[in-house]
Structure 1
Amino acid sequence: MTASLEAHRLDGQRLIVVGAGSRTGSLIARAASAVGAELVLAGPDPRKLEWTAGELAGRAEVVPVDLAEESTIAALAERVGRFDHLVSTAAMPANGPLAELELADVQRAFAAKVIGPLLLAKHLAGQAAEHGSFTFFSGVAAWRPAPARTVMATTNGALAFLVQALAVEIAPLRVNAVSPGIVDSGSWDGLGADKEAFLRGVAARNPARRVGTPADLAKAVFYAIDNPYVTGTVLHVDGGGRLA
């Protein structure tokens, strides 16, 4: 993956990755470190952040953050100081039949995808470099809602509109979203022997006739970071899955 990303050099740039203890956050952090970025790894579980830090090619700082607690976001801003870019892969799905949803789970889902990104911009926009950017992770469920995925669809959709509003409010800082489809990042390993059949079925339905890879996500994030004329945009990295 690293060789294909060398064009996106981030030497000397400071990148905050919120959700760096997750599979997707960790892969973005590793890819950014490999191309020269200095990393700040943020998330709710310090142990997972330390594991990610141990896999990086370069320097990293670990800062615990809970997007449901504004005080921790304010503390992140105070500790980090100046930075170049922020990427948040944070997600806290609240899936299940509508009649069985718990309010606390729904609130956590909105904290990760909507309220948290809003507060990250509130506390950190003033510290970003002039060329800086914020990139958040939405998801294909917003464009392809399904039973038992109502909260996931709603939070991802709300985030897509939030990036447009933030792009206007905190301009000239740029704000974008990456919306993954089905990506073979390890998240589907729990399917066991059924995983390969599931991924083949996804590929057969996608216009791109394949599933996503971690490199696909990293390229989209780096495009959002690199291109100074892209803001208020959702980059769909789903092989056309939202259309199928």
Structure 2
Amino acid sequence: MDTTDRSSLASFFAELDRVDHLFTSAASYRVGPMRELSDEDAESPFVSKFWGQYHAVRSAASKLAEDGSVVLMAGAAGARPPAAAPAYAACNAAIEGLGRGLAVELAPVRVNVVSPGTVDGNLWAHRPQEDREAAFAQYRRDTVLGRLGTEDEIAQAVLFLFTNGFTTGSTLYPDGGYTLR
């Protein structure tokens, strides 16, 4: 489904009787300095990443199991911007706030946020090798652990948030210590 298409979301969730856990990681956006991005590009993280998740939760809300959970996807850039990309950093911070607000509104359904650091995975797969290596080298220097994360490590964080029945309104940073520096 297209998380930016509300009718697509409504159709998807209308087919389901119950939703135990919800996690959406789909987003398409541009990042960069405020002075270099068009208004449309600057708004793109909010359109797909923030509003896409907001509308996914809204469409699923009536189907969420009382003992279920929602995990939103933000990013460590919301706590520590890596470069001049203020709209992207603000979007990630806003998703963390959305998670706390939804945790209060949707209780007893648990709502949490995962804010990973840089992962050598699908998000970077189609970028030029030179750009990837430069970004990856910088991230390794900026983290406490000195390495990139894996998609499996992020999935494990999401599964933890799905299964821990006493965690809600929290943000988990599987970022190798990036936000500590």
Q: Please say whether Structure 1 and Structure 2 have the same fold, judged by a TM-score greater than 0.5.
A: yes
Aligned length: 180
Q: 1:131 to 1:196 in 2, by over 3 A?
A: same
Q: 1:107 to 1:70 in 2, by over 3 A?
A: farther
Structure 2 distance, partners of 1:194, 1:112, is: 23
Q: How much does 1:191 deviate?
A: 4.2
Check the 8 A contact 1:138/1:157 in 2, yes or no.
Answer: yes
1:226 is matched by which residue type in structure 2? Answer: T
Alignment of 1:42-81 (within 5 A): 64-65=1-2, 67-81=3-17
Check the 8 A contact 1:68/1:108 in 2, yes or no.
Answer: no
What is residue 48 of structure 2 aligned with on the other side? 112
2:72 is matched by which residue type in structure 1? Answer: F
Tell whether 2:136 aligns with 1:199: yes
Check the 8 A contact 1:93/1:151 in 2, yes or no.
Answer: no
TM-score, normalised relative to structure 1: 0.66
1:124 is matched by which residue type in structure 2? Answer: A
What is residue 126 of structure 1 aligned with on the other side? 62
What is residue 173 of structure 2 aligned with on the other side? 236
Check the 8 A contact 1:94/1:151 in 2, yes or no.
Answer: no
Structure 2 distance, partners of 1:185, 1:204, is: 19
Root-mean-square deviation (CA, aligned residues, Å) is 2.2
Unaligned runs of 5+ in 1: 1-63
Check the 8 A contact 1:77/1:123 in 2, yes or no.
Answer: yes
* Structure with greater strand percent: 1
Q: How much does 1:128 deviate?
A: 1.4
Query: Once the two structures are aligned, what percentage of the paired residues are identical?
Result: 35
Match of 2:38 among 102, 105, 122: 102
Check the 8 A contact 2:27/2:52 in 1, yes or no.
Answer: no
Structure 1 distance, partners of 2:92, 2:131, is: 27
TM-score, normalised relative to structure 2: 0.87
User: Which SS does the other structure have where 2:148 is aligned?
Assistant: coil
1:154 is matched by which residue type in structure 2? Answer: A
Structure 2 distance, partners of 1:116, 1:102, is: 20
Q: How much does 1:195 deviate?
A: 4.7
What is residue 38 of structure 1 aligned with on the other side? none
Check the 8 A contact 2:43/2:87 in 1, yes or no.
Answer: no
Structure 2 distance, partners of 1:228, 1:71, is: 31
Check the 8 A contact 1:184/1:213 in 2, yes or no.
Answer: yes
Structure 2 distance, partners of 1:239, 1:89, is: 20
Q: How much does 1:159 deviate?
A: 0.3
2:108 is matched by which residue type in structure 1? Answer: P
Q: 1:105 to 1:202 in 2, by over 3 A?
A: closer
Higher relative contact order (CA 8 A, sep 6+): 2
Q: How much does 1:243 deviate?
A: 2.0
1:241 is matched by which residue type in structure 2? Answer: Y
Q: 1:201 to 1:109 in 2, by over 3 A?
A: closer
What is residue 87 of structure 1 aligned with on the other side? 23
Tell whether 2:165 aligns with 1:219: no
Q: Which moved more, 1:201-210 or 1:120-129?
A: 201-210
Q: How much does 1:138 deviate?
A: 0.3
Q: Which moved more, 1:190-199 or 1:70-79?
A: 190-199
